[in-house]
Amino acid sequence: MNSQGKTGALGKPFSSAHIQATLTNEKYLGNAMLQKTFVRDHLSKRRAFNQGELPKYYATETHPAIIDEETFEAAQEIVRQHAEERKNRARPTKSEFTSKILCPFCGEHYKRVTNNGTIGWNCRTYQDKGKRYCHGKKIPESILKALAADVLELQCYEPAEMKACIDHIEVPADNHLTFFLKDGRVIERTWADRSRSESWTPAMKEKAHKSALKRKESKSCQQM
C-alpha cells in the first residue's frame, strides 16, 4: 500500500502496527470489546490501555458488520502464523563487543559493519548519519580480537574472557584503543593500518599501476 502511495486516514504511510490493529479489530465484525482503555488518573484524564487492570467486556452485534466472521477468522489465522514464524526465526547472536566500544567524539557506541566481506567496527553516528556528524574510522574486527587477546594475555582470543574481564573500550584517537578492565586496570594499545603492499594482491597492483600510467598520459596531453 505504501509503494502504491496509499496512506492511512491521517495521511501518514502504513506501518506494520497499523495493519495489525486493522486486521485484529473486532469492530469490523460488528462487535465491540469494551473497556480496552480506561482513565488512569481522573485529574489529568489520561487514558491508558487496559492490560488486565480492569475487566473487559466483549459485546456482540453492537453495530452492522462489514466483514463476515469466516474472513475475519482466516485473517486471524494468518496473523497467528506470522507471529509463530517470527518467534522461530533465528536471531543473530549478539557480539561480545556490542555496547562495549565508545566513540570519544559523540559518545555513541561502535556498531558492527560488514563490507566487501571484511568485518569491522565503527561509530554508530558516523555509520547512520555520515561523516558530517561524526568522525569515524573502522577498526577491523580481527585487530580488535588480537588486541583484546593481547591485553588479556591469552594465546588465542576468547569471547567469554572478553565478556568477563573487559568492562569497555574507548577510542581516544585513530588507531588507538584504551581497554578498561573490570579489575580496574586501564591498558592502552595502538594498531597499524595494513600497508597497501601487504593487503594488495598482484592483480590489484597491476591494475593500479596501469591506471597510474593512464593518468600520467592524460596529464601530459593536457599540458601540451
Residue of 206, 151, 155 lying closest to 181 (CA atoms): 151
d(C-alpha 118, C-alpha 214), whole Å:
30
Binding mask 65-104 for Zn ion (x = CB under 5 A): --------------------------------------x-
Number of residues lying near Zn ion (CB under 5 A): 6
Cβ closer to Zn ion: 28 or 180?
Answer: 180
DSSP line for 99-128: TTEE-TTT-PBEEEEEETTEEEEEEHHHHH
How many residues does this entry show for the chain? Answer: 224
Q: Which stretch binds Zn ion (CB under 5 A): 55-63, 127-135, 151-159, 170-178?
A: 127-135
Q: Which stretch binds Zn ion (CB under 5 A): 8-16, 42-50, 121-129, 146-154?
A: 121-129
Cβ closer to Zn ion: 72 or 126?
Answer: 126
Least gap, CB of 107 to Zn ion (angstroms): 7
Q: Which stretch binds Zn ion (CB under 5 A): 36-44, 57-65, 134-142, 192-200?
A: 134-142
Instruction: State CA 133 to chain mean position distance.
Output: 18
Cβ closer to Zn ion: 71 or 175?
Answer: 175
Cβ closer to Zn ion: 158 or 170?
Answer: 170
Least gap, CB of 69 to Zn ion (angstroms): 55
Which one among 105, 157, 180, 191 touches Zn ion, defined by CB under 5 A? 105
Measured N-to-C along each axis, helices 69-88 and 16-23 cross at an angle, to the nearest 10 degrees, of 140
Whose cell is 556528524? That residue is 133
The C-alpha cell at 76 is 486471524
- The yes or no reply on residue 127 touching Zn ion (CB under 5 A) is no
Which one among 32, 106, 152, 187 touches Zn ion, defined by CB under 5 A? 106
d(C-alpha 126, C-alpha 139), whole Å:
13
Rg (CA), the chain: 29
Which one among 72, 113, 125, 148 touches Zn ion, defined by CB under 5 A? 125
The C-alpha cell at 56 is 473487559
Least gap, CB of 4 to Zn ion (angstroms): 38
Which one among 113, 134, 148, 151 touches Zn ion, defined by CB under 5 A? 134
Distances in Å between the alpha carbon of 187 and those of 61, 100, 150, 160, 190? 71, 15, 10, 19, 10
User: What does the DSSP 8-state code read for residue 183?
Assistant: T
Summarize as ranges the residues that interact with Zn ion (CB under 5 A). 103, 105-106, 123, 125, 134
